[in-house]
Amino acid sequence: MTRYMKNKISTLQDALAYQLQGLFFAEDEIRNELTTCIQQIRSIEVRNEIDHYVKTANEKLQKLERIFTYLMQESNPRKNDVVSKMIHETHHLLKLTSSAHLKDILMISCVQNINSYKTASYKSAYLFAVELELDTAIDLIQQILEWELATGKRLALLSIHEFNKLNESNKIQ
């Protein structure tokens, strides 16, 4: 039992709330922590995409707040160790990397990892809400999930673009 849960997880709605509390923490961490990473990115395309991802965290937090209101539960975030460790790893990798272009590529990779984790978590929350027949929660989670999936696609394309630039520069040398 965590300090954020009043009771043990004994129902699917408890599991949904627990999952969403972890996602709430994740969105807040992204909003606060990835902002400092953006400053280290050279590529304008990469910087803009990561900045967009950080800014959408605010909208996701608002939607999560609405879901908690609908569930009649507090939106107390619970620490999400997975996201914390991925963000820590992002900071660590950027510190270790001397090449500006390689930093761009690693930043995309790190955000893809975070995005993949969150996408899977939102899918689980969506399935819980569907099973509980919580139409409002379903709609809100679906909107967030669509944003995460769209980000995943854009990051994949951006990754290919940045690797192609790396290959071009290696051919020149």
CATH number at residue 26: 1.20.1260.10
Examine residue 161 and state whether it is found in any structural domain, yes or no.
yes
pLDDT the model gives residue 117: 98
The pTM of the full predicted model, rounded to 2 decimals, is: 0.88
6 located within any domain: no
Q: Is residue 93 part of a domain?
A: no
Q: What percent of the chain stands above pLDDT 70?
A: 91
Does residue 2 lie in a domain region?
no
What is the distance between the alpha carbons of residues 143 and 146, in angstroms, rounded to a whole number? Answer: 5
Establish if 1 belongs to a structural domain. no
Q: Is 3 part of any domain?
A: no
Q: Where is average pLDDT lowest: 25-29, 72-76, 115-119, 164-168?
A: 164-168
Q: What is the pLDDT of residue 150?
A: 97
Give me the pLDDT at residue 69, please: 93
Q: Is 107 within 8 Å of 46 (Cβ atoms)?
A: yes
135, pLDDT greater than 70: yes
Q: What is the mean pLDDT of residues 114-122?
A: 98
Does position 57 have pLDDT exceeding 70, yes or no? Answer: yes
pLDDT above 80: residue 171: no
Q: Round to whole Å and give the CA distance between 14 and 91.
A: 33
**Residue 32 counted as domain residue:** yes
Domains: count for the chain: 1
Asked, for residue 17, whether it belongs to a domain, the answer is yes
Average pLDDT (129-151) is 97
pLDDT bin (cut points 50, 70, 90) of residue 2 is: very low
Please give the backbone phi and psi of residue 167, each rounded to the nearest 5 degrees, phi first. -65, -40
Structural domain of residue 23, as residue ranges?
A: 12-88+99-172
